Each structure stands twice: as C-alpha cells, then as structure tokens.
Structure 1
C-alpha cells in the first residue's frame, strides 16, 4: 500500500496560508475517543453519597485508636509499631498531633541512649525507630547500625534468623543519603537474604516481603500502599480490630470522595463540550484525575 506524504514545500505553503489568515495551524492528532464515555456521570450519584452512619462509626473508631496511642505512651516499641501501622494503613493524617508528640519522645529517648551508650541491640527496634524518625525529618546517624557488624566488618549472619527484623531493616535503608556506605552495604546484604528466604516464609510475612522487594515502602504511592497493606494487616494475628476497621472505612470514604469529584468534573467537561473545543488535546479526563 502506497501512502502519499505531503512534501516539505506543501507543508510550508499550508503554514504560510495559515499565517496570512491569522489561523493557527495544528497537526491532527487523531486520538482515540475516551474509553470511559459517560460512565462517571451515569454511575456517579447515589452509591457515592456520604453515609452519616459510616461517618459516625469512623468518629467512634478514631477515639478508640487515640486511646490506644495514649495507652502506648512510655512503651516506645509498642508505640512505634502502632505509628508504623497507622502510616502504612493510610490513616496517620487523622492523628498527626499524637504522632508528632510520640516521635518527639522517641527521638529524645534515642538521644539519651546515645549519650549513655544504652542503644538497644535489637535490630527491629533500631531499624523501625531509624525509619520513623528519618521520615519525620529528625537527624539520625547511620552509625546506629555499626553494632550489627562483626569483627571482620561484615554484617552478622545471625541477623538473617529474624525475617521480620530483616525486612524492617531493609525498609529503613531506603531512607539513606549520599555517602552512607554502611547503608549501601546493608541494602545489598538484606536484599540478598530476603530473596533467599522468601520461598520459606509463611503468610502474611511472605506477602509483605514480596511486596517490599517489588516496591519499597518509601518509594511507593501512599494510597496504593495502604490498600495493599490492609490485606496484609488483616492477616496479622497481632492486628488491632478497631484500627483495621477504621482503615477500611477511611479508604472507602476517600474512594467515594474521589468518585464524586470525577463525576462532577466529567459532567462539567461534557456540559461545556471541551473535547470538541480542544481537538488537539487528549480526551483523557479519568486518567488525568488519577
């Protein structure tokens, strides 16, 4: 099949004609029509309206979780585990003040332990506090991990006996900065051993390790990570029922809000007929909102 392409002289002639008439000449993009059509307009109202009963339940659950945080005061590890769960489940924004105060206390304890040479030898505790505090903007030296090396300068093989601690270590290492060689070494070490032990791990830890190796927490999209972690947390025997329910309801409420937003935007887009007024632009409203 032979295609007739316009010659450079023809293109130049068209452009000159356009300049004479003052018309802006644009190439035809021939984009495919949107696959969504009127989906968000037709299915929008009704099922996405706010539910007062659900919102009341969220308030009750929020109070219960606040009490959990209060009861964890002066129990640093328990407090950090709870904060980590709040952040992973995507509901930390509901408890910003409580989390800020808790991490200030954790940092003060960290500084005090460093001064008195009393930093714990538990890898899980050190790695979790390192990640939570760095995420919050506190300056935490990578030297806290030196104690986990042997006399040859290599990370101790005994660290591979605890997959949960090693995973926590691996997640913390993604907050490293330039010239932190010990963290680069640790990342190689933890990645290698997590991959080797993955086939032998039980759920939900196996799924959590698999997810983290694919997309480390620090590099993931918070809302997608929250959806993924809800399933992991639900299978955890140490889960808090109130926190799990709060995370599910909050996720659904936020999804409903996004759906109402795209329904309103889609209706506005259609009413003013922007797709025909901007033929050189893609009619991809749903993708843009995502």
Structure 2
C-alpha cells in the first residue's frame, strides 16, 4: 500500500517542484482559500493558541495574525515541494545568512556545533547552509512512516550534503562521528512538545508552563557541541535571511536545562517580532494543565497592603 501511495503522489510532487515560483505562489493562494475559508483546517487550534499567548492583543489583531499565518503556511508547504527541483545556486540565493563568518570561525577552531531551530519562517531551506561549511552536516528528524517517502526525503537532503539521522539513532551515530574526530554541524528542531510521560523538564514558553524538548541540550553536553540559535526572517515570498547567535561556548558548564531555556527565549523573541511566521497549527500548549507540582509557578504575591 505504501508503494501505491508513493506512485500516485510522487508525480504531483515532481511536477510542482519544476514549476516557476510565480506559479507556485499562485497555487499557494488557491490552497489558502481552500484550507482557510472553505475547509477551516485547524483554524480553531490556531485561534486558541493565539488567544492563549497573546491575551493582550485585540480579537482583530489576532485575526490578522491568523490570516497571515495561514498564507505563510501554504507558502511553506509549496516551498518544501519546490525544494526537490531547486538548484544549489537557487536555494542559496533565496536563503542567505548575515553572519556566516561566525560559523566558519568556529569550524576553523575545530569546534562542532548544534544548530537549534524552532518551527519558524523557513526551516526547510536551512539545508543551504551545508553548501557553505566544511563540517559534515547532519539533521535529526522523525522518520516518515512511508519508507518510500522517507527515502525521498533523505535523497533531497543528501543533494545539499545533509545526512538525516532519526531521533532513535542520533546519539549512537553522533558519538561515533565525534570519536572519529569528524567536524560536524548538527541541526535539530527543538520546540516540539514531548510526550508528558517522558518529559524531564517543564518551563515557561510564551507565558505558559509546558514540557520542553531537551534532546538538543543533552547532545550538546554529551558531545561538547556549541549550541547555536539560527534566527530566520522572511524578507518576502520565497526569500529568507538567517542570523546565528551562539547560546554558549561552554555547554558543559551551563546548569541543567540552561541551554534549553536560552533557546526558548530566542524563539520567543522571533515570535513576538513577527508572530505570523510561527507554526501555530501545532498543539504546543496542550499539556498546560498537567504541570507537575515541582514545576508549578508560585502565584504572584498581592501588592495590597
């Protein structure tokens, strides 16, 4: 059955990947009308998330963010498909970096890095970074259930010199690579919501206490990788700009979960600057009512005398 689905869907993906960007965004506009105005895809989830994290904004302000987000989301998915047919030159023109020298300087010192990303703006075209570094590029990801699409995803990333490794195999592969003294840059999306039963740490994110994904921090400390936040801005349709920020140069000296908190603070700054580019369809705050006692915040003391 997996092969049948792949055979049916692949030609459509291939066709879209060969279309010019003007046509891509024309299609995106149509998909927006279909998903937002007709189907109402996850509109309730997005609306609830925005009301939860932006209570200070008016209903009209949140509605504007909501509509802008859905337009961006449609662009992102079409751009992901387009990646399959993009040349190395084209993707580098559309995803630029303001301070690439910062990462190159770390490489010259023989330092391995952990690139920590949120679901913000474009995380797909971050692949272009691998064309500008000497490090071996790895990306930690969740395997696609359909093995044929999983291979396709791996092949597309491989075109940009990235080797994908699943979350389950990441620790073993990275430890082996470190011992072989390979210079590495590892990318990981770190704003996911972990399963409650496996959550090690709960912390404030956009004003709400939620479980935090700590895998990136643990890998940094185990392998002595320098964690780097990549802030991505959407300049206009189809064009993005990234800026690196080193979270710490001494990961093993940072108190437990300090790297995770630093990453989340940077993510919050990005969200507040342009909230329409965060991935609001995720139920990121779904566990807000299950906070363990040891992580519950103390209520603020009354100022009344």
Report the TM-score, using the length of structure 2 for normalisation. 0.29
Report the TM-score, using the length of structure 1 for normalisation. 0.30
Structure whose residues are more often strand by fraction: 2
Structure whose residues are more often helix by fraction: 1
Looking at both structures, which has the greater relative contact order when contacts are Cα pairs under 8 Å and sequence separation is at least 6?
Answer: 1
